[in-house]
Structure 1
Amino acid sequence: MIAIYKSDMTPQGGLKQITNFEPGSWINLVAPLEQELMLVSKKTGVPIEFLNAALDDEESSRIDIEDKVHLILVDIPFTEMEDNSLVYDTYPLAIIHTENELITVCLKNSKIITDFINGKMKSFFTFKKSRFILQLLQRVSMHFLLYLRQIDKKSVLIEKRLYKSMQNKELIQMLSLEKSLVYFNTSLKSNEVTLEKLLKLDLVNRYEEDQDLLDEVIIDNKQAIEMATIYSETITGTMDAFASVISNNVNAVMKFLAAVTIVMNIPAIIAGIYGMNVRNMPMADNPYGFGFVMALILAATLIVSWILKKRDMF
């Protein structure tokens, strides 16, 4: 999908969608077709490799420059439902700066982009391309922080359920959150390198306000890295603790079953001996022999149970 937007310079302001490639416009590509990529490349002079960069979900964050075209590739967070559970991951967003237009390319539609389209961003103009780039990067950092807080709250709720249930479902959910934090941490560190490189470009060093905004973006990104690291360590510690608890519970159950087996074998042994077809068994001719044998079984069972209880087997 391809959509072209331009800031409305009328008193009403806002963003309007246009059909032509005009100077000062913003070209937004979401999961574009090959024909759309070729069209944009032909109309804007952007290398096709730059447009294809964000369509590979394994691409890492970087900056490329060719002639007067700047490619800024960053990882952005997203959420999706998987097996009735919310999963967090990242995918690339390409921001391409040309002399006349700004181009964004992404595999999926992101709230980071739609917030600009829906007019939720103040002081946003498509012709202020360097400022627009920094505003996009700021939204990326803010969404990372937002999702990290959601992950933290979700892990606390799952931990509370774990205390009660100890089921595989909760453990798998914790493992999924831990994996999401690893993805976030890796992407944030890659973005950090890219943001540091931006400091050296004239692209964002023309105005003091832009430099201040980039500094804020770098600080937010560093904060997100610290949060992701702390939350990941917390979840890892929680998983290890519950793994030990589950192991102890299994050992306790096995110990209890072993004790029950010992106690249950006593009646079987005595009954087996008295059930042998041999002569001169004790109490064989006594009219109270059955009662005596039952009393012997009960006494032996109680004595062994008491010994096992003293040894904390029950």
Structure 2
Amino acid sequence: MAMFVTEKLKSFSWVNVGNPDHEDFEKLQTEYKIDEDTISDILDPDEQPRIEVEDDYKVIIVRFPIINRETDTLWHTEPLSIIYSTSRVITVCRKRCDLLDKIKKDEKTTREEFILNIIYYIAESYLRFLKELNKRVLESKQALLERVRRRNLLALLEVENSYTLYMAGIKGNVAVLDKLEKMRGFVKSEDAEDLLEDARIELAQATEVVTSYSKMLKSIKETFESVINMDSNMYVNRLTMWSIILAVPTVVVGFYGMNMKLPFAEYEQTASTILIAIMILLLGFAMFNLMRRRVV
């Protein structure tokens, strides 16, 4: 459902556009004078974090984590476009950005502090989502310890994709913060400096967490891959062993089916005796293997 909300603050107005439709984009172009190229960038789901300076406004693009409610996965990230001018801040997201509802606003908040506050909450959300992803890794690990299932291995692969996308988004947001810090006149109050430093700390922590969780996930995957390879080798060895054993009666029966004189061929019970002997040997071999597995 589309959302187009305008909120008036003391020093600027905030226009929050979520899940926009064609009419919303037309309104951005006609009423707020946002050019077509900027609209095209907003529509691109793969747009990377960056800053662009236009004639009448500046554009800050950052990426934030979002839950894909259709598939209940957490690997998805979306770009959030922050378009600001002297008296206005416009936030535009292809999907609804729930974290914007948590942004603190008061009469003393400046435009720059408001933007840095958004980036801070995005950095904080990465840590929250990473903790949730780690819970899923531990759940899949526990399930794999009980029984190796395909869906649990695919769940680990999905989380690995999440870590890759999160790391890319975090690094891009850090680069945006670096540019904002160097931008003349953007960080001009002590509160803005504190917000920028807090956002930088949160992003640094998120980077460390992603790196740590990625190493742990890699170790888990390698361990279970080794277990799967060992099981596969064991099954191949068993099949090879049984094929050799079953080849013995085939050879014996083949010999006695030839038109030539063979030992004990004149006795009627020879075939049944040989068959019973082979069955006893196979049964004894099977019991021996079963007892050995129980001991191990």
TMscore range, shorter length = 0.7 to 0.9
> Residue 140 of structure 2 aligns with which residue?
158
Partner in structure 2 of residue 212 of structure 1: 194
Correspondence for 1:201 = 183
User: Any unmatched runs of 5+ in structure 1?
Assistant: 10-22
In structure 2, distance between residues paired with 1:291 and 1:45 = 97
Residue 144 to residue 259, structure 1, CA distance change in 2 (3 Å): same
Residue 79 in structure 1 maps to residue 67 in structure 2: yes
Q: CA deviation at 1:304?
A: 8.0
Is this contact kept in 2: 1:76–1:93, CA < 8 A? yes
Q: 1:137 to 1:180 in 2, by over 3 A?
A: same
CA distance in 2, matches of 1:134, 1:190: 15
| Counterpart position of 2:53 | 65
Which of the residues 193, 200, 224 maps onto 2:206?
A: 224
Q: In the TM superposition, what whole-angstrom CA distance separates every residue of 1:128-178 from its partner, at most 9, and x where no partner exists?
A: 321211111111001111111111111111011112221211111111110
Long gaps (5+) in structure 2: none
Q: Please list the CA deviations of residues 174-210 of structure 1 after superposition, one character each: whole Å capped at 9, or x if unmatched.
A: 1111011101101111111111111112453221111
**Which residue pairs with 1:180 in the alignment?**
162
Q: Who is 2:152 aligned against?
A: 170
Give the secondary-structure state (helix, strand or coil) at the position aligned to 2:192.
helix
Q: CA deviation at 1:237?
A: 2.6
Cα distance, 1:110 vs. partner? Answer: 1.4
The verdict on how the C-alpha distance between 1:291 and 1:223 changes in structure 2, with shifts beyond 3 A counting, is: same
Asked if 2 retains the 8 angstrom alpha-carbon contact of 1:28 and 1:103, the reply is yes
Distance 2:197 2:210 in 1: 20
2:74–2:129: 8 Å Cα contact kept in structure 1?
A: no
Q: How much has 1:93 moved relative to structure 2?
A: 0.4
The root-mean-square deviation of aligned C-alpha atoms, in Å, is 3.0
Aligned-residue offset at 1:231: 1.4
Query: Which of residues 225, 230, 238 is equivalent to 1:248?
Result: 230
Show the counterpart of 1:137. Answer: 119
Q: Distance in 2 between matches of 1:51 and 1:228?
A: 32
User: Could you tell me the TM-score, scaled by structure 1's length?
Assistant: 0.81
Q: What code does the residue aligned with 2:264 have?
A: M
> Do the aligned residues in 2 keep the contact of 1:130 with 1:203 (CA within 8 Å)?
no
Q: CA deviation at 1:88?
A: 1.6
Matched, 1:293 2:274: yes
In structure 2, relative to structure 1, the CA distance for the partners of 1:286 and 1:60 (3 Å cut) is: closer
- The answer on 1:113 being equivalent to 2:100 is yes
For 2:233 and 2:278, the matched residues in 1 are separated by 29
